[in-house]
Amino acid sequence: TDRKKLHTAPVGQVFRLRPFHVLVATGGGYAGYRKYEDYKLEQLEKRGIEVPVKLASEWEVALYKSVPTRLLSRAWGRLNQVELPTWLRKPVYSLYIWTFGVNMKEAAVEDLHHYRNLSEFFRRKLKPQARPVCGVHSVISPSDGKILNFGQVKNCEVEQVKGVTYSLESFLGPRISTEEMHFSQAPPGNSFQQQLVTKEGNELYHCVIYLAPGDYHCFHSPTDWTVSHRRHFPGSLMSVNPGVARWIKELFCHNERVVLTGDWKHGFFSLTAVGATNVGSIRIYFDQDLHTNSPSYSKGSYNDFSFISNNNKEGIPMRKGEHLGEFNLGSTIVLIFEAPKDFKFNLKAGQKIRFGEALGSL
C-alpha cells in the first residue's frame, strides 16, 4: 500500500505519428529497397544477363519524392563545409578514396592534409597533364563519367538509358525567343525538335554522361561555342545512378537542372547539368546569379537568364576544354546539339570516359 503510483500518459500523447514522419520513414525504407534492387541489377549486368525494363508506377515515384532529398542535400552541403581537424583528414578521405576508387595521383595536390573539408576534397583540381584535350575531334567529353546513352533525337524523345525516354520539350523547357538567340525562325507548325534545328540537312543529337561520386567533379566546355542563355529548373533531387534512371521515366525532367543553351559552328548547342541526391549545388563559373537547391521553390517553375545584353551582344564564348562548372558530389551531364547528318559518335553505351576524350566528330 505504501508503493508509489506510476502515472502514465496516454499512448497517443507520448508517441504521435505525423503524416510527415510516415512519409519520410516509408519513403526512406522504399529508397533503401530500391538501392538493393539496383545492386542486384548491376550484378546481373556484370554477368552479361540482359534485364527487361520495369518502369516505376506513379505511386512509386510519388513515394520516392516524399523523401526530403532537398533538405538532406542542403544538410550534406553544410556538413561538407565543416573544417576537419588535421589528424582526421587522412582517415576520412582515405575511406572515401577506398570506397569510390579515387585516383589521387591525378590530383594537383596529392597531400590529403591540404584539403580542409570534404567540399574542397570533392572539388579537387587535376594536374594539367592528367586530362589532355583531344584536338582532332570537334566534340569532347565535358567530364569524367560513364556513357549512359547517345545518338540521334527521334520523335521529340531522348533516351536517358536504353529503352527509357523523356520528353525533349519537358527537359529543355519552352523554346527561347529568337530575339535572344542566334537562331533562325522556324516555320510555324513544326515540332519542338524541328524548331531547334536551324540548318537544312542537320539532325539533333544527344549524349548522357553519368558522374559517379568517385569521378572528377568539375565539367568543361565540350566544344567551341557561345552560351547565350541559362534556364534553371528547381525540382527534386532523386538519385540519377543508372539503376534509378532505368526505373523512373523522365527522371531528368523531375530533377533540378541548369540548362545552358547557345550555338556552335553547326547551329544549336546545349549542355545541361542535372542535380541529384546530395548534389543540390551546381555551380557555373561565369554565372554568379545562379543559386541552386533553394529552400523555397515552386514546383514546375523555372527561371531564365540571358547572357546577351546591350554591352555583350555575343553571349559568353567558351573554348573547347575550358573550365565551365562543378558539382558538389557527382551527377549527370546531358548534351543536346545540332550537327550535320554525317556526325558520328566514337562511343559505346556503358563505357567509361574521361574529360578531354573524343565524343564524336564529322
Write down the H helix ranges in the chain.
Answer: 11-14, 19-46, 58-65, 69-81, 86-100, 118-122, 168-172, 192-196, 242-247, 251-254
DSSP 96: H
Q: Which residues contact 42 (CB under 8 A, 6 or more apart)?
A: 243
Catalytic (active site) residue 331: yes
Q: Which residues contact 89 (CB under 8 A, 6 or more apart)?
A: 112, 113, 115, 116
CB atoms within 10 A of CB 192: 15
CA 282/CA 82 separation, integer angstroms: 19
Question: Quick one: which H or E segment has residue 15?
Answer: none
Output the CA torsion sign for 16, 20, 25, 26. positive
Secondary structure (DSSP) of 204-251: EEEEEEEPPTTS--EEE-SSSEEEEEEEEE--B----SHHHHHHSTTH
CA 252/CA 235 separation, integer angstroms: 10
Q: Which of 206, 220, 232, 254 is catalytic?
A: 220
Question: Quick one: which H or E segment has residue 263?
Answer: strand 257-264
Catalytic (active site) residue 144: yes
Secondary structure (DSSP) of 297-308: --TT--EEEES-
For 67, left (φ over 0), alpha (ψ -120 to 50), or beta? beta
Secondary structure (DSSP) of 58-79: HHHHHHHHTS-HHHHHHHHHHH
- Of the candidates 342, 313, 326, 314, the one whose C-alpha atom is nearest the C-alpha of residue 286 is 326
Q: Which of 66, 228, 281, 331 is catalytic?
A: 331
Q: Which of 66, 119, 138, 144 is catalytic?
A: 144
Active site residues: 144, 220, 331
